[in-house]
Chains A and B, each alone.
Chain A
Amino acid sequence: MLGYIPLGIAFGVLCVQMGHPWWIAVLMSVAIYSGASQFLLLTLLAAQASLTEIGVAIFLLSCRHLFYGLSLLGRFAGAGARKLYLIYALTDETYSLLSSVPEARDPAVAARISVLNQGWWLLGTASGAAIGDLVRFDSTGMEFALTALFIVLTLELMCKVRRAAPFVIGLLCSAGAMLLLPPEHLLVAAIGGACLVLLWDYQRNRDKEVMRS
């Protein structure tokens, strides 16, 4: 997946421009290995967020991985020692490849795809950090890359989900949190609220189905 290279470069450049040494960018790409989470971590670090907030925000952002794992449970069952690496390297891109390429049913092929993907990501991050270190330029406004990434992912989800409710719930919850709470608690409160509303939505739908049957 060559898309990893430019995004990795963007992350590397941004990380270095925010004042971190180049190896912090590479360390993040090895330890965290998740594009959106790494961008968000940069923002949170710049905003001096507490460790609890970082943990909760990153976990909630990565919640989507829970459902990737669920759908691949059976697939990884016979993978043996490779299973650990496959779980660790299960990113959005890797998941979309694993679930769309039929040959990836073989754990050996899946592991090779994962290694390749992480290789691209690391290469992109390292070269981005190098570029950012060598070429000093005004990077004001570059943090918008994260916003753009979120907007694009939301649009992609809109095409997939085809139901307005979850997006409206997200919008209302975040607007409510923005109105009622100071900005530093916005993220966690809004996501918590959205979870509760979705649970209520599930309960209501199930009750309706029970009534019908």
Chain B
Amino acid sequence: MSPEGIFAGIAVAALASLASRALPFVALSRHRDQPLLEHLGRYLPAAIMTILVVYSLRDLRLFAHTDHGAILVWNNNGLPLLLSSLVVVLLHLIKRNVLLSILGGTAFHMLLVQYIVPGLAFPVETTATGDQYPRALEAAAPAIPEPPLALEPVHDLYATALLLEKPPEGVTDCRLLGPKAKAGASSGGFSSATRRAAPPVPSGYFSARPRLRLFM
């Protein structure tokens, strides 16, 4: 994120925080004994705090959105979150020490995420782009398969031509091979007919390699 974005974020957060503290003194001083405010003051913080717990546990990803609506799923990435939350609850119920619960739970979570979970061979869903575990995901993600080594140069040319819609720079004589390739369809002759006539690209080649690498 850009420095301006961070400064703007801090400024907005500071204003919001100050507003919540100053508002009663500025605007609500006459409505102090309003029963509605009393009611909200008693129960709203509890509801908000529960929502915040759910919000910060959203990486459990209990729901998956499908074509038929949301369904309940089990996601292995959430296991450390679930276990560490249990540790926090237990520690707090036993010791009732805010600091101990937070530090103990966080230490346990770091231990799980850094040492224990990467050691277990969990099937990691590569579609889950959990913002909480980039490093764990990366470690567990299957390696991108290398393209077959004995690749004819013409395949790379073909791929580049598909993206560029014209022959790459420096290529003066390029002939696409194939049964239907017309004689004389040399430099620049990338008609759809000749494109279809090119030899088949090995399956999995495009999906396995990042697109940008085609230009290298």
Contacts and interface: CB of A to CB of B under 8 A. Distances in A.
Interface of A: 3, 6-7, 10, 20, 24, 27-28, 31-34, 36-38, 40-41, 43-48, 51, 54-56, 58-70, 73, 76, 83, 87-88, 90, 138-158, 161, 163, 165-167, 169-171, 173-175, 178-180, 183, 186-187, 190-191, 194-195, 197-199, 201-202, 205-206
Q: Chain B interface mostly helix, strand, loop or mixed?
A: helix
Contacts of A83: 25
B41 A167 contact: no
A70 B41 contact: yes
A56 B19 CA distance: 11
Interface string B85-114: 100110011000011011101100111111
A174 B105 contact: no
Given A62-B21, A153-B49, A198-B47, 19 more contacts: A6-B99, A6-B103, A7-B99, A31-B11, A32-B14, A62-B16, A64-B45, A67-B41, A68-B21, A138-B135, A140-B133, A141-B110, A147-B57, A148-B109, A155-B93, A166-B46, A178-B54, A187-B52, A195-B44
B99 A3 contact: yes
B62 to A, nearest CB: 8
B58 A41 contact: no
B98 A3 contact: yes
B122 interface: no
How many B residues are at the interface, by size bracket?
A: 35 or more
B12 A34 contact: no
B104 to A, nearest CB: 8
A67 B33 CA distance: 11
9 contacts: A73-B29, A88-B21, A141-B106, A142-B110, A166-B44, A166-B50, A174-B50, A191-B47, A198-B43
B37 interface: yes
A89 to B, nearest CB: 8
B51 A173 contact: yes
A147 B48 contact: no
Interface of B: 1, 5-6, 8-25, 28-29, 32, 35-37, 39-58, 62-63, 70, 80-81, 84-85, 88-89, 92-93, 98-99, 101-103, 105-106, 109-114, 131-133, 135-136
Contacts of A31: 10-11, 13-14
A211 B41 CA distance: 24
Contacts of A24: 6, 10
Contacts of A191: 47-48, 51
Nearest to A197: B47
Given A138-B114, A151-B85, A144 B105 contact: yes
A51 B114 contact: no
A180 B70 CA distance: 8
B101 A87 contact: no
A166 B99 contact: no
A149 B102 contact: yes
B23 A151 contact: no
Nearest to B48: A191
Nearest to B103: A6
A166 B93 contact: no
What are the 9 closest A-B residue pairs judged by CB atoms, nearest first?
A170-B50, A69-B24, A62-B20, A141-B113, A67-B41, A166-B46, A174-B54, A141-B110, A170-B47
B133 A190 contact: no
Nearest to B30: A73
A67 B23 CA distance: 10
Contacts of A175: 54
Given A169-B47, A198-B44, A54 B12 contact: yes
